Structure 1
Amino acid sequence: MQLGTNVPKELNNSANQQVKCILQKLKHPYELISLPWLRARQELRLRRIDGYYTAILLSEMAPFGQLSAPLYLENWYWFEPQAATALDRAERQHGVIRGSHQAKWFESIGITPTVEVNSAEELVLLLKRKRVDSILMDLEAFEETAKRVELDPSEIASEFFRYVPLGVYFSTAYLQQYPDFLAQFNQAIPLCSQTPFTLSASEQTTIVHHVLHQALALAKQSKIQSALAQANQQQWPEKQIVQYDQQWIQELNLQISGLAEAMLQTELSQYLQHWQQQFNGQIAEIMLTDQQGRNVAISELTSDFWQGDEAKFQDLYQSKLDYVFDEVSFDASTQRFLVHLSIPIKDVSEQHIGVLILGIDVELTLQQCQLSDGNGRCL
C-alpha cells in the first residue's frame, strides 16, 4: 500500500503513530509518501496512490474513495474580534491557512477568504491586529497559538461550528481489491488511539447548564426511585451478568427481538422516551442502571446490557462528583458525535442506588445553545 501524507514523515506525531500502528497490527505492508493535500487528492484520482491522510470528507472525492473512521477529531470554532460580531457573517473578511482543511471548506461553499497565510501563527496575528474579521480554526490549535502570539482571549468572541473527523482516505480501486480491509482498519483504530477526544471546559459547562437541572429532577421521581430499589434487591453474580450481557449483544447482532426489545417496551422505558423528546434530538439516548450497572430502563436500543464495566459508570462510582463526562465518540453509521453524561442517583439517605446516563448529540446541542429564547435556554 502506498499512502500519501501531508504530515512530515520524520515527525512522530499522533497521525503517523496511529497509521503505522494500525497497519503493523494488520500486518499490512505500506509505504508513506510525502504529499501536500492537493497533490495527494490528484494522485489518488489518477490511481497512483492507494490513500492519503490526514483527510476530511469531501463531496468532490466521493467517486474516488472512502474515508476511514476518525483517527482523531478537530473542534472547529469561529474566532472574531468582539467588534466584528455585529457584522453579518457574509460581510466579514475571513483569513485562512493556505491549503488547510478550512480553506477547502471555504471553497466548497463558495467563500473566497480575504487573506491566505502559511501558518497558524500568521493567521492568529491577523486576528490580533484586526486585519480580518473572522477565522475558522481548531479550538485547541487556536488556544495554543494565541498563547504564543500573546493574544488576550477576552478580546475575542468564539462560536462553535462543528466537529471534523480526520482519517485516511482510501481509493475505491484499493478497497475493491481488498474488500475487507476498511472494516479491519476501522476496528483497529481504538487499539492504536493516541489521545482521547474530550469536551473543553466551556463545552462541558454549556451542556451541564442545559440538561443537568432537568436530569436531576428526573432522577428524583418516585417511579425512578422505586424501579431502582426493586432492581437492587436482586443482586446478580458477575457470571450471570456477563451471560445476560452476551445474550443481549448476540440478539442485537442477529436482529432478534429479544431482551433489548422487551426492555424498550416497558412502561419506564417509554416514559424515558417521552422525557427525551423535550430536547429535540439533542439527547440521543438514555440509560438507567442499578447499583451493579445493569440496565433497568432505556430510551433507545443499547449495544449492551451491562454498563458496570464501562468508564461512564465506573468513573462516577469511584468519585464523589455530581456528574462525569466520558470521551466524545463518533458513530460512523449516523455521522453523529456523542458524549455520555453520567449522573449519580441517590435515595433519601444519600446512598448510591443507580446511575442516569444521557447520550448527548454534542454538535446539535452546542449549535442550538448558541441560540437563546431570552431566558438562557437552548432552542
Structure 2
Amino acid sequence: MKKRLWCFLVLYLSVLLSSPMTHARTLNLYTFHSPPYQVNPASVQDHTGPFGTTVETVRCVAGRMDWETQIRTVPQNRAIHGLRNHVIDGYFAVDESDLLNRFALPTAPVALEKWYFYSLEPIDNFRDSRIAAIAGSNEAIWLEQSRYATAMTVSHPDQLLALLHRDRVDAVLMDERVMALQRLSGQDPDDLNKQFVRFAPLSLYVTVPFAMEHPEFLNKFNRHIAGCMTGGFDLSQQEMSQISNRARSLIDELVNTYHLEDWLGSLGPPAELGEVLALDKQWRELSPSRASDKAAEILSLKLSGKLAQWQYEQDGMVTETIVMDTIGAAAAISVLTSDYWQGDERKFETIAGKTSDTLYLGPVRFDPSAQEFQVFASMPVVDPATDRFVGGVAIGLNIEKALRSPYLRPGSTNGSPGE
C-alpha cells in the first residue's frame, strides 16, 4: 500500500514539474516615436524597448494588473493595420479617432498634451493659414479632421521650425513639451507667438476581441492610471494666472448682476447640519438620474433659472454654477449637481469666512462622459456694508474654452483661442 502511494506521489510530482510555469500575461502593444512621451532606444541592440513618460505610465498600469508588456514603435499606418487585423493587443498614445472607434476600444487618457499654434507673427484666423505638423502625429490627424488647410507634414520638429523661419508656412501645430525640447537644438520657442489650441487626451486603444476575452481589463486599467501617471494634468503658472483671472471676472459679474450678497443675506439662519446631511444623502442617492425633492425645490427657484440662463450665455465655458449658504449647502444651482452639501469640499472650505477677493482654483479633472477638462473655481460672497460672510459661489470651467482668449504675445501672460 505504501509502495503504491509512493508511486502515485512520484507520478503527481513529475506531471506538476513538467507542466509550464504560470507567467504574467503579456500585452503586445505598438506606439510611435514622439519624445518626451515615447522615445526609441538609442541602439537597436537595446532590448529594453521604448521609454518615455507615457511608456512608463502604460508599463506601470500593466504591472499593477500583473501584465507584462512588449512595446514597439512603428509608423502610424502600420500600427492601425496591426490593430485592425488583431496583430497586436493595443496601440497608444493616440487621440480619439472615428476610424479607431470602429474596431477598437479606448482606455481613459494615459497622457495629456497641450497643443499650440506657433508663428512668427500674430495670426487672427488660422483656418486660411498655411499650417504644418509632424507626419503621422496626432496633431496632423486632428488638423485634417478639423478641416484646417495643412500646408505640409515633415518628419521632425526642427524641420517644422525651419519651414516657419523660411516663410514656407504661416504656423506650426505642436505640443508644448515637444516644442520645449527644441531648445536643445538651438531653437528658442520663447521668440515665437503662440495660441492655445486644445488639451489632447491620449489613450490606449485595445482591439475588440482582446476586450471581449478580458472583459475586466478596461475598468481595471482605468482605475490604475491616476496612480501611475506622473504629471501632465497640471496647469502651468501662466495658465493658472489666466484661468484665475477668467474665473474671478465671471464670478464678480455673477455676484454683481444678481446682487447675490442681498439674496444670500436674506436667507436667514442655515439649517442644522444633521438635517443638511440627511438631505444630502437623499440628493446623492438619486443624482444624476433624477432630482430629490430638495433638489427640485432649489431648481425651481427664480435665481436658479437666472443662473441657468447666465451659464448658457457663456457659450459652454461655464459647466456648472452653485450658490452656497454660510455652511456650504446649495442655495441655488444652474443644473442638477452631484450633491447638496459642499461644506466638506475644498471649494467651500477654502473660501468660508474669507474676504471677497479670495479665490479658490481646484485641480484639473477630465470628464470622460463629456470628453472635457474642467476645473472648479469659487469665491466668497460678503455683505459690503458689514464685511460679513454670507455665502459663496462656485463655477465649473471648461479649461479649453477658458484658455482661448486674446492672442498670446511673447512674454505675455494671456492665453489664446484655437482660431
TM-score between both structures, scaled by the size of structure 1: 0.80
Which residue of structure 2 lines up, in the alignment, with residue 375 of structure 1? Answer: none
Residues 1:5 and 2:31 are matched in the alignment: yes
**In structure 1, C-alpha distance between the alignment counterparts of 2:227 and 2:294, rounded to whole Å:** 30
1:45 aligns with 2:88: no
What's the offset of the Cα at 1:217? 4.1
> Which residue number in structure 1 is paired with residue 24 of structure 2?
none
Distance 1:196 1:24, change over 3 A: same
Gaps of 5+ in 2: 1-26, 33-37, 40-47, 408-416
The 3-state SS of whatever aligns with 2:67 is: coil
Compared CA separation, residues 70 and 311, structure 1 to 2 (3 A): farther
Alignment pair present for 1:174 and 2:213: no
Counterparts of 1:45 and 1:200, CA distance in 2: 37
Q: Does 1:361 align with 2:387?
A: no
For 1:263 and 1:200, how far apart are their aligned partners in 2? Answer: 37
| Counterpart check, 1:266 vs 2:301 | yes
| Equivalent in 294, 319, 322 of residue 287 of structure 1 | 322
Q: Deviations over 1:85-126 (max 9, x none)?
A: 38975452x3322432123334544855435132x3443454
Does structure 2 retain, via aligned residues, the 8 Å contact 1:68–1:168? yes
Provide the C-alpha distance between the structure 2 equivalents of 1:135 and 1:334, rounded to a whole number of angstroms: 28
Q: Tell me, what secondary structure is at the counterpart of 1:114?
A: strand
Q: For the structure 1 residues 121 and 30, does the alpha-carbon distance in structure 2 shift closer, same or farther, using more than 3 Å as the test?
A: same
Report the Cα distance in structure 2 between the residues aligned to 1:88 and 1:256, rounded to whole angstroms: 44
Choose from 165, 172, 177 the match for 2:201.
Answer: 165
- C-alpha separation in 1, matches of 2:189 and 2:73: 36
Give the residue type in structure 1 aligned to 2:344: D
Larger Rg: 2
Alignment partner, residue 307 of structure 1: 342
With over 3 angstroms needed to count, the CA separation of the structure-2 counterparts of 1:130 and 1:44, relative to structure 1, is same
1:97 to 122, 134, 150: 134
| Contact 1:14/1:194, CA 8 A, preserved across alignment | yes
Structure 2 residue aligned with 1:19: 58
**How far off is 1:336 after superposition?**
2.6
The answer to whether the 8 Å contact 2:353/2:380 transfers is no
For 2:329, give the aligned amino acid.
R
Between the aligned partners of 1:193 and 1:233, the Cα distance in structure 2 is 45
**Match for 1:163: what amino acid?**
F
Q: 1:270-308: CA deviations, max 9, x gaps?
A: 221122233233222101223433222210111222333
C-alpha distance in structure 2 between counterparts of 1:221 and 1:86, whole Å: 32
TM-score when normalising by structure 2:
0.73
Q: Do the aligned partners of residues 32 and 199 (structure 1) sit closer, same or farther apart at CA in structure 2, a change above 3 Å counting?
A: same
**Is the 8 Å Cα contact of residues 262 and 383 (structure 2) preserved in structure 1?**
no
Judge conservation of contact 2:140–2:153 (CA < 8 Å) in 1: no
Task: Measure the CA separation in 2 of the matches of 1:305 and 1:366.
Answer: 29
Q: 2:283 matched to which residue of 1?
A: 248
Q: Deviations over 1:194-220 (max 9, x none)?
A: 225244455455555556345214325
Correspondence 1:215 to 2:251: yes
- Amino acid of the structure 2 residue aligned with 1:278: E
Unmatched runs of 5 consecutive residues or more in structure 1: 371-377
In structure 2, the CA distance between the partners of 1:95 and 1:280, relative to structure 1 (3 Å rule), is closer
When the two chains are superposed, the root-mean-square deviation of aligned CA atoms in Å is 3.6
User: Which residue of structure 2 lines up, in the alignment, with residue 347 of structure 1?
Assistant: 383
Aligned pairs, how many? 366
1:74 is the counterpart of 2:109 = no
Secondary structure of residue in 2 paired with 1:302: coil
Alpha-carbon offset, residue 193 of structure 1: 3.9
